[in-house]
Structure 1
Amino acid sequence: MTSVNYEKDQNNIVHFIFDKPNASANLMDQEFTDAFVAAVKKLQHDDWIGIVMRSNKSTFFAGGNLEDLYKTTHENAHILNDMLTRIKSAMRTLETSGKPVVACINGAALGGGWELALASHYRVSLNQGVTLGLPEVTLGLLPGGGGTVRMTRLLGLQAALPFLTEGRQFKPVQGKALGLINEIVDTPEQLLDAAVNWIKENPSAQQPYDVKGYKIPGGKPNHPAMAQMLPIAPAMMRQKTKGTLPAPESILCVMVEGLQVDMDSALRIESRYFIELACGQISKNMIGTLWFQLNEIKAGAARPPSFEKEQVTKLGILGAGMMGAGIAYASACKGIEVVLKDVSVEQAEKGKAYSQNLLDRKV
């Protein structure tokens, strides 16, 4: 069993089927890297007209292995660097092969999953149940599998900023409007048919940024419009982060530096910034708190052993001040009926008005 199954159909199209053994989701780890690199090498000794990348899981592909990243230090960083170099080289081999590569996105494609999709020439997605994006910044990291470089080249520096420095996620419809998703279908069968048909109709393929004369949307950093915006961008970012979060600033560095060199050099720059962040204490703190500890809480780690789970449908809150009103709002948004009690009806009504004002703004 392997994380990447290599199959060839009657059309002479090779299918890379992602299916990590004994796991609910596909992960970009050493095991996947070995399997993916081996599959790409096998292509060199095979006859094929195109590649379909698809998943046997309910999602397309999750991100990197956070356990491995959490253990990365400056002393063993060469292991992570080797993995990044190998997988990026394999992805680059696919996209520069001259033959079409299609990603069939059947579920969430976040982090490493979206980076794999970006390395394809054509992206087909299901309409429902799919979330796309690069949320690495929310864990103190940056997209290290080519995502920072490719998103910047495809969207342009300014348009790509919120997706990279804020980790903004999006749905297939928005992805199509951005030009990142090429086709949206309703069923898994249509997903595969669309991929096969496109490969047959497009026997040769190139990434837009590999075509001679391609112009980055909005221009490179030395473009007059960019040259005016870039000097103030770090200051605006520092105003938000207060200098406590290095990841957004590192992402901006990769975006700007990467646009001034060739693709392969840009990918190396991205790897170096990524490894530096992964070795840092801030990313480890964020991964530990916002991933490992949060998942433990969601799994019930803080639940007293004598209390069984039950569905709350009505909640009483004593005190309608700042905290009580906030809890009331969060509970009501989840469909829970809330009763507020305070020293007077007027005070309770103020707590109720807090939720009313927030919802009125949203409306």
Structure 2
Amino acid sequence: MTGIVWKTLKSRQMELGPDDGRAGRWRNWRLSRDADGIGWLIADQPEASANTISEEVLEELDQVLAEVEQDPPRALVIRSAKASGFFAGADVKAFVGARDPAEIEQRMGRAHQVVDRLAALTAPTVAVIHGYALGGGLEIALACDHRILAGDEARLGFPEVQLGLHPGLGGTARLLDLIDPLEGMQMMLTGKTMRPGQAKALGLVDAVTEERHVRTAVKAVADGELKPKVKPLNRLRSQVTERLFSADLPRRAVADRMRGQAARQAPPEHYPAPGALVDLWERHGDDPKAMRKAEVASFARLMATDTAQNLIRVFFLREKMKKITEVSDSVAKPRHLHVIGAGAMGGDIAAWAAWHGLRVTLADLKPEIIAMAVGRAAELYPKLGHDSAKTRDALDRLIPDVKGEGVRHADLIIEAAPEKLDLKKKIYAGLEPKMKPGAVLATNTSSIRLEALAEGLHRPERLIGVHFFNPVSRMQLVELVTHEGVSDETLDVAKAFLGQIDRLPAPVKSAPGFLVNRALTPYMLEAMVMMQEGHAPETIDAAAEAFGMPMGPATLADQVGLDIGIAVADSLKANLDKPLPVPPDTLRGRVDRGELGRKTGKGIYEWKGNEPVKARSFAKPTQEMTDRLILPMIDACLECLRKGVVEDEDVADGAMIFGAGFAPFRGGPIHYARTHDPAALKARMEALARTQGERFAPDPGWDRLT
């Protein structure tokens, strides 16, 4: 910050202004004034770890602003008392089930009035942000004259698109009026967060400083020494961009390009928010006031859609699954993890755990496999965080262990060996005598029943399943697999571990395929049957994508590996009491020829640059094709619920969304079936059973929906 000399050198806790004894006038805010005449408005919602923008918070803010207007301070600071951050966004619980756009528009109009009142204050306003400022929280900050980031961990962003929405408190116009419009639109369309350096470069914030310098920075605002940047990047570029997009024709051309790019990532028939945001900018990008007004109506229409309501449901599914990891303080969280098997899964589990602070020893019979795993970690870490020191520390915690000595010291051991029962039991026989008292043994098996794995163990109560999905760094779900003999202590340690590494657990009981693979296998095998019937894989993939699946079954089979798919299918067929589609001989032939999918460069598709090469022209899919793929997946979930493999419908929906990519805007397979005439869906399965075979006979679990 040019011209500012930071005088305060001593580190201290968060600067929240003076406590003048007047707390309690508002439930969510505290207003005080310091000796320099600076007002400090502190947000601190009671009994909450994070502040959110609720109607109550905004109503009280309106009262606070009325008082500030009567006696303006030299400057007004807005800050959070929560250690976690500024504001985590809007309180979306208030909009669950909201279906009347007119009523939503009225509520949002009142909220706009409060934020506009903040923006109109005569006193200079400054948002001091630590941690995160997301969604509505960032919109509050944008209504201030200045934004100062305290610390290098701050994150700013508009994740509303992930809820089927766009900013709704004036943020669309204020962001695009502040920074380069193309950068601003990209920020809102992707929902990505900005780090301090990025935010400063874009002109989103005026300064980035350390906590101990916050008071000095605020005083610089009051003294008029901190001037907001006129425009981001550089003045010339800003002037050219502003003049260019003030004209309708250039703005329309860029809007068309944005619309096309957004549609490739999120089909507009399923995800209308990106298109609605582009429409706003195209029509009102030259008039911020008109854009703020139009934003309210657009936001209200989106909030009332099935997409927004279902994506809000998904948000709460994630929160519910996160709570599963909350265990008593008396539970000893693992500090040392030992992983057996440094292949694609084991190596990546080890790397992910080391990134999250655990000491990890990684064992394998072949040193070169361990070296490859460490190499993958070295490539992954810079993508997770742009902090070379954190990368170095994580690599220091990831320890190659060819002799497997880490078993003796580990609190948790994860076995990630190939899916062979005899091999896994042999590994357990060798490591169990070396395990220290209280240590937990976990298996990453994807299909083997834990009862079979527990045979021969001296202490089967400390065996549990933690089934990760590939790629580990991107797939949030872990199936937490229990068997009748597992102890509560073992279960708690596993839950705590998944919380430590920021994964979402889906508690399931040991059963063939558990939940996700049990539901995905008929989906992928039916695609193989269709191919045998002569349908192009592109047509089959399009049938699933028409429903909203992010990836069709033919592509997914190649991603997973055709060899693995056949192995899981054979295992399930041998253990299920319901018929599965028979893998065609042509599929086994591909595997015999080494055409395993993406990992070999050829499978159902040829692969180039990690992307399948698909024909541009192919037959359109029929509704029956979509039914043949999707309905058995739903049926399998209902079977798992009926048999108690998974006990909670919400967890079943969350597991399929976060582990199998089930179309998020549908709200999960069980929710979809409940809200789309379950009797009619069941009847369609019965019709398929008559024409295609008994594999489509509806499970009795459908009765819970009708």
Name the structure 2 match of 1:88. 112
Aligned residue identity for 2:351 = A
Conserved in 2, the CA contact under 8 Å of 1:70 and 1:287? yes
- Give CA-to-partner distance per residue, 1:259-310, whole Å, 9 cap, x none: 133x332112111121222221112222222x2112222222799xxx9964
Is this contact kept in 2: 1:49–1:203, CA < 8 A?
no
| 2:123 matches 1:99 | yes
Q: Secondary structure at the match of 2:57?
A: helix
Counterpart for residue 293 of structure 1? 317
Question: What is residue 141 of structure 2 aligned with on the other side?
Answer: 117
Q: Give the drift of 1:247.
A: 1.6
CA-CA distance at 1:177 after TM superposition: 0.9
Per-residue Cα deviation, 1:286-343 (whole angstroms, up to 9, x for no partner)? 2222x2112222222799xxx996467123469x6xxxx35642542332555579xx
Query: How many pairs are equivalent?
Result: 341
**C-alpha distance 27-360 of structure 1, shift in aligned 2 (>3 A):** closer
State the 1:102 CA deviation. Answer: 0.8
Contact 1:121–1:206 (CA<8 Å) still a contact in 2?
A: no
Are the structure 2 counterparts of residues 172 and 89 from structure 1 closer, same or farther at C-alpha, using a change threshold of 3 Å? Answer: same
8 Å contact kept, 1:98–1:205: no
What is the CA–CA distance in structure 2 between the aligned matches of 1:123 and 1:294, rounded to whole Å?
31
| Structure 2 partner of 1:185 | 209
Note the 1:136-285 alignment, pairs <5 A. 136-187=160-211, 189-201=212-224, 217-218=241-242, 219-220=244-245, 222=247, 225-243=250-268, 244-261=270-287, 263-285=288-310
AA partner of residue 240 (structure 1): Q
CA distance in 1, matches of 2:312, 2:335: 30
Inter-partner Cα distance in structure 1 for 2:107 and 2:31: 20
In 2, Cα distance between the equivalents of 1:173 and 1:274? Answer: 30
Which structure 2 residue ranges, 5 or more long, are not aligned? 1-23, 232-237, 355-359, 383-706
> Which secondary structure does the structure 1 equivalent of 2:86 belong to?
coil
Match of 2:62 in 1: 37
Cα shift readout 1:93-136 (whole Å, capped 9, x = no counterpart):
33233431111113211111111111111111112331111111
1:272–1:354 distance in 2 versus 1, CA, 3 Å: farther
Q: Is the 8 A contact 2:199 2:205 kept in 1?
A: yes
Q: Secondary structure at the match of 1:125?
A: strand
One-letter amino acid matched to 1:241 = A
The answer to whether 1:334 aligns with 2:358 is: no
2:523 is aligned to none
Take 1:21 and 1:4, find their aligned partners in 2: how far apart are those partners? 10
Rate the CA distance shift 1:260–1:67 in 2: closer, same or farther, 3 A.
same
Do the aligned partners of 2:340 and 2:346 also contact (CA within 8 Å) in 1? no
Q: With structure 2 as the length reference, what TM-score do the two structures score?
A: 0.44
Structure 2 partner of 1:24 = 49
- Could you tell me which amino acid in structure 2 is paired with residue 236 of structure 1? Q
Structure 2 counterpart of 1:134: 158
* Structure with higher RCO (Cα < 8 A, 6+ apart): 1
Counterpart-to-counterpart distance in 2, 1:332 and 1:31: 43
Cα RMSD of the aligned pairs, angstroms, is: 3.5
- Offset of 1:360 from its aligned partner? 5.2
Deviation readout 1:32-76 (Å, 9 max, x if unpaired): 01111111122232243321111211111110112112232217x
Matched, 1:62 2:88: yes
SS at match of 1:195: helix
> Once structures 1 and 2 are overlaid, which stretch shifts more, 178-187 or 216-225?
216-225
- Alignment check: 8 A CA contact 2:206 2:228 kept: no
Aligned to 2:699: none
Show the counterpart of 2:40. Answer: 15
Aligned counterparts, 1:297-316, within 5 A = 297-300=321-324, 310=334, 313-316=337-340
- Using a 3 Å threshold, how does the CA distance of structure 1 residues 292 and 327 change in structure 2: closer, same or farther? farther
Q: 1:44 aligns to what SS in structure 2? A: helix
How far, CA to CA, are the matches of 1:255 and 1:145 in structure 2? 15
Q: The residue matched to 1:60 in structure 2 has which SS?
A: strand
Closer, same or farther: CA 47–285 of 1 in aligned 2, 3 Å = closer
Instruction: Report if aligned partners of 1:221, 1:227 keep a CA contact under 8 Å in 2.
Output: no
Q: Which has the larger radius of gyration?
A: 2
Q: Which residue of 2 aligns with 1:211?
A: none
CA separation in 2, counterparts of 1:301 and 1:362? Answer: 24
Q: CA deviation at 1:14?
A: 2.4
The DSSP-based 3-state class of the residue aligned with 2:95 is helix
- The alignment partner of 1:5 has SS state of strand
Displacement of 1:356 after TM fit? Answer: 5.1
Q: Which AA in structure 1 matches 2:261?
A: M
SS at match of 2:245: coil
Amino acid of the structure 2 residue aligned with 1:148: T
Provide structure 1 residue ranges, at least 5 long, that are not aligned to the other structure: 209-213
Q: Deviations over 1:112-167 (max 9, x none)?
A: 11111111111111123311111111222211112222112222331112210001
Cα separation, partners in 2 of 1:362 and 1:41, compared to 1, 3 Å: closer
Instruction: Return the offset for 1:223.
Output: 6.1
Alpha-carbon spacing, 1:310–1:83, altered in 2? closer, same or farther (3 Å):
same
Confirm or deny: 8 A CA contact 1:106 1:130 kept in the other structure: yes
Secondary structure of the structure 1 residue equivalent to 2:147: strand
Q: 1:292–1:227: structure 2 CA closer, same or farther, 3 Å change rule? A: closer
Letter in 2 for 1:146: G
